[in-house]
Structure 1
């Protein structure tokens, strides 16, 4: 939260949760611009801090809302007198390390309003809910604590992580090893890891009821093999640690339809062989939008899988 120290120490700073659909219709662009009705939302001022919420109606996750980032309201970039809308710039954007879903928030100690066990009408219908400073700080701490092993990123790396999010939205998946002399690996991994896990509902594609702390967003095409796949979440597959290690070393792979193929060389590693033996007939669920890209699976079969 280092980037918000100045605002947090300012007694005049207000704090909000704002809904964003990131749609052209509303002129919202995540981490760049936010539009709102200026007549009914006069409490927002430059320098205030906010947390992004994707409402259930705009959610990709079965109509379930989630929180996914934070920022600071900047200057007004445009006003529309016909609609009464302001378009404000976003400063100091920050991408969450872990989406905060309903199950991650049920034990959260809200200060601005008492949570009575139901989310209906908990957040304001106009899409802007004023919260307390303690709520803002607590939510940022909660998402960070859910990924305890993630390395601490510099401000420059945090900025790269946000740019990864924006690039992936535009279906642009290329990134170099460095940007302006800053290594991109940790920043990309922050974005990529949570995106892959989010797409898979924070569950392994193979093992039911897997402890989330055991999950790894595993690259199908390795990082060093193709810079054009680094930001593509469909180059990731959510596996437990042991399966991730076995997949990365080529002890098993998948067909285009998602069926497991186990390498004959797995027998040389008793632990891996025992692990994979009971999964030989398994098939992971494949959907059109989030499942692994078949070109990437083909690459894994041809270049990583131990024939």
Structure 2
């Protein structure tokens, strides 16, 4: 929360959860621009702090809303007198390390409003809900607590993580090992790991394990082998840690249809061998939108798998 220190210390700062569709029709660009009706939403001011929410109607996750980032409300860059809408620049963007889904918010102690167990009408219908400072700080802490092993990122790395999010939205997957002299791996991993886990609904693709502490994202084509796909979530699979380690070392691979193929070369770890034999021929969960790219699977079979 380093980038919000000044605003948090300012008693005049207001705090909001805003709905963003990231849709061209609404002129919303996540972490860059936000469009809203200025006549009905006069409480928003330059310097206020916001948390992004994707509403259920715009969600890619079974019509379930989620929170995914924070930022500072900036200056108005365009006013439209005909529609009564303002386009505002977004400053100090911060990508969450973990999407906050309903399951992550069930026990959250809201201060701005009493949560009575139902989400309907909990957030304002106009897409702008004013919350308390305690809510804002607590939500940022909640998403960090869900990824306790994530390395601390510098301000420059946090900025890279946001740019990874924006680039992936445009289906641009290239990023170099360094950007302006800064190693990009940790920043990319912040975006990539949560994106893949989100795609798999925070479950293992093979064993439907819901214990997030035992989940790990693996790259099908290793990081060093292809810079052009560093941001492509279809190069990632969410697995349990034991299976993730075995996949990375080539002790099993996947067919184009997603079936597990176990190497004839046994692992040095007996627990890994037992796990591989248990799930041999198991098919991973496949989805048309985010299933592994078959070209990447072929690469893994030919260059990583121990044959």
> Do the aligned partners of 1:210 and 1:240 also contact (CA within 8 Å) in 2?
no
Cα shift readout 1:80-124 (whole Å, capped 9, x = no counterpart): 111100000000000000000001001000000000000000000
Distance 2:267 2:111 in 1: 56
- Aligned-pair distance for 1:270? 2.6
- Aligned-pair distance for 1:280? 1.2
- Equivalent residue for 2:232? 232
Q: Secondary structure at the match of 1:256?
A: coil
Q: Secondary structure at the match of 1:266?
A: coil
- Equivalent residue for 1:174? 174
Distance 2:238 2:205 in 1: 6
- Aligned-pair distance for 1:208? 2.6
> Do the aligned partners of 2:74 and 2:89 also contact (CA within 8 Å) in 1?
yes
- Equivalent residue for 2:198? 198
- Equivalent residue for 1:139? 139
- Aligned-pair distance for 1:269? 4.3
Cα shift readout 1:149-196 (whole Å, capped 9, x = no counterpart): 001100000000000000000101111111001110100000000000
Q: Secondary structure at the match of 1:130?
A: strand
- Equivalent residue for 1:245? 245
Asked if 1:162 is matched to 2:143, the reply is: no
Distance 1:210 1:69 in 2: 23
Cα shift readout 1:41-86 (whole Å, capped 9, x = no counterpart): 0000000000000000000000000000000011101011111000
- Equivalent residue for 2:287? 287
- Equivalent residue for 2:277? 277
Map 1:105-124 onto structure 2 (within 5 A): 105-124=105-124
- Aligned-pair distance for 1:209? 3.2
Cα shift readout 1:244-303 (whole Å, capped 9, x = no counterpart): 010000000000100110000026643222111121121112221011111100100000
Asked if 1:70 is matched to 2:70, the reply is: yes
Distance 1:147 1:58 in 2: 25
Q: Unaligned 5+ residue runs, structure 2? A: none
- Equivalent residue for 2:302? 302
Backbone CA RMSD of aligned residues: 0.8
Distance 1:69 1:7 in 2: 16
Of 268-277 and 91-100, deviating more is 268-277
Cα shift readout 1:219-266 (whole Å, capped 9, x = no counterpart): 000011110111000000001111001000000000010011000002
Distance 1:16 1:193 in 2: 27
- Equivalent residue for 1:57? 57
Q: Secondary structure at the match of 2:298?
A: helix
Distance 2:209 2:168 in 1: 29
- Equivalent residue for 1:216? 216
Q: TM-score, normalised by structure 2?
A: 0.99
Q: Secondary structure at the match of 1:164?
A: helix
Cα shift readout 1:26-54 (whole Å, capped 9, x = no counterpart): 00000000000000000000000000000
